[in-house]
A and B are shown apart, each in its own frame.
Chain A
């Protein structure tokens, strides 16, 4: 990674205040994304990956709250602290500097406005463009994301489009103001594989041509392996492993990552007995275990150390960080 990343998250803590107590969904997450890079943030449901993404744009809904940590975005040679930026300035960042793509395009698009109006709105807000110019930009964006018959689609409502088309519209909206960073939260999870292939191809192509950095949040290790430069694996509110993608998949070091990779079924594993499983289940935040949060499910855990001591995120190999006391011993 370069010396001055585009986005640097440092020791972020986002917690939810509930009748059951304080639930730290994100508990000390640090990440950095360089310009034009793609970082994959992977984990299972409830690991805090989406809350991390929402925290960047301060979109975490009450009773959730960023408690501590810093999120710095490089804008025109200046570092903006997003956690304390005034709401008015933050609004310029959202959609202007940082675009966002959500999982479910049907619920994130407004059903009563045409697709053209919705893309144009982003442009009018951030670029102070006039009606005609904004509409022209909307048309240009639909062409860019390769929507068929863009002139007609401009006046279509979201329900008239297929899932893949709606996701293209979301991408068009996110990219309309040429942001430096796009946060894509499970952008292809609701889509069929052939449509997913189209969207991933499109994202990769746009990144090459526009130089946009992407924070890709997903549970799908295959998607990460095929699209990301770097990967961070989250478990129970913490990053447990982080490395360049090729390194992580060829040499996973954290027992959780190793378990996730081994649990994937495929034809090669046919007839070779049952799949490797990770016993138990992902703990909810009110039941996060002490010490290493993975220890109750971990085959390598040694007591009392793993239950007592939170392992630090250590650099085991160049650029390869692991949060495990015994990473060296596990390493092949």
Chain B
């Protein structure tokens, strides 16, 4: 992780270090913005905007995995689809292999998409039930003009084998397979095109625990053997912690914190990340942290709160949080957008451990009052 993340340390510095880096990141995203209009009435007048992705920047070096975590509605899936322009972004830049993805023509984009593939969450919805596995896998090869009939067959059989299925699967329909096997087919469909980059959108969330581990191992193996680069999108922190090199946490269309995976798990600095990690139930008592229960629900991305978007649910929110969007504080690649955590970092002289502990202690002190099992407020 020492060479990681050249850009996004503020634009000027980011550009400089990107040029200096031996190899620029395979994927570099700057201030990505994907807004959806809300239309109403007969004339479909625009009455509002859903700011699904609202200024997201990150980069992924070749061969690395970025885990993008967050809860439903935070915009993580929209980020993944915007990268491939399955949804058109409304602002910012996406550079893949030194090419500007947003500026590509239709034909150029198609060529680029062979190199950047996606695997979806639902292995039932993402495979056409009326197509045999052969047609599902062959479609991409034909579109991209890869090989004649015989070589296509070879490639398909190899892709299936690589994902742990027999070539005999080619002549069967998706419904003949279990959920885990279908996800293998979806992965085979992506890797048969020999891509460099995969967006994995909750690829194991619909699977049972025992099957989940099989697919996670498969993804790790493929990354190793084929030198793939992943954007791994998930709400499941334990899966991300296991697979990712770098983790970014999203909340309401923004990245609130990002750091190398181990660093983030050990010392989350943002109050939201701390609450998120503490909320994951664990079977190991040693890993159980004091649970921080956040009040309320995630606000609507069509009316994001002023200042720091997390402030209405943040136990540490102060006056400044309601008014000023927190700037990014960067500590040796551990980046956080938070007034309070930033201040704690300054106070502890840039010691992430001390700052993290101070933030956690403050949150627990602040949440212990109302959320404690003591008499509920309603009885008053």
Contacts and interface: CB of A to CB of B under 8 A. Distances in A.
B248 to A, nearest CB: 16
A206 B288 CA distance: 22
Interface string B196-220: 0000000000001111111011001
Contacts of B378: 143-144, 146, 150
Contacts of A219: 208-209
B282 A225 contact: yes
Given A192-B71, A201-B293, A266 B208 contact: no
B275 A146 contact: no
Interface string B107-151: 000000000000000000000000000000000000000000000
A197 B238 contact: no
Contacts, number: 131
A194 to B, nearest CB: 5
Given A146-B378, A275-B216, A44 B210 contact: yes
A194 B276 contact: yes
A194 B279 contact: yes
Which of the four size classes fits the interface of chain A? 35 or more
Nearest to B294: A194
Interface residues of B, number: 49
A205 B279 CA distance: 16
Interface string B176-214: 001010000000000000000000000000001111111
A45 B371 CA distance: 33
Contact of B281 (A195, A220, A263): A220
A281 B211 CA distance: 7
Interface in A120-147: 143-144, 146
Interface stretch (B29-37, B239-247, B316-324, B332-340): B239-247
A190 to B, nearest CB: 9
Interface in A188-218: 192-198, 200-201, 204-205, 208
Contacts of B377: 146
Interface in A145-162: 146, 148, 150, 162
A300 interface: no
A267 B242 contact: yes
Given A146-B378, A266-B241, A266-B282, 19 more contacts: A44-B208, A165-B297, A192-B298, A193-B71, A193-B279, A194-B279, A205-B376, A225-B283, A226-B281, A226-B282, A227-B281, A249-B284, A263-B213, A264-B209, A264-B238, A270-B242, A274-B220, A277-B210, A282-B210
B106 interface: no
Contacts of B241: 265-267, 270
A164 B283 CA distance: 24
Contacts of A277: 210, 213-214, 217
A220 B236 CA distance: 12
Nearest to A246: B285
Interface of A: 44-45, 143-144, 146, 148, 150, 162, 164-165, 192-198, 200-201, 204-205, 208, 219-227, 249, 259-261, 263-270, 274-278, 281-282
A171 B238 CA distance: 28
B235 interface: yes
Interface in B324-380: 371, 373, 376-379
Contact of B283 (A44, A148, A249, A281): A249
Contact of B213 (A192, A198, A275): A275
A201 B371 contact: yes
B243 to A, nearest CB: 7
Contacts of A269: 242
17 contacts: A143-B378, A146-B376, A146-B377, A193-B276, A193-B280, A194-B275, A194-B294, A196-B279, A197-B292, A208-B373, A219-B209, A221-B209, A264-B283, A266-B282, A267-B262, A267-B265, A277-B210
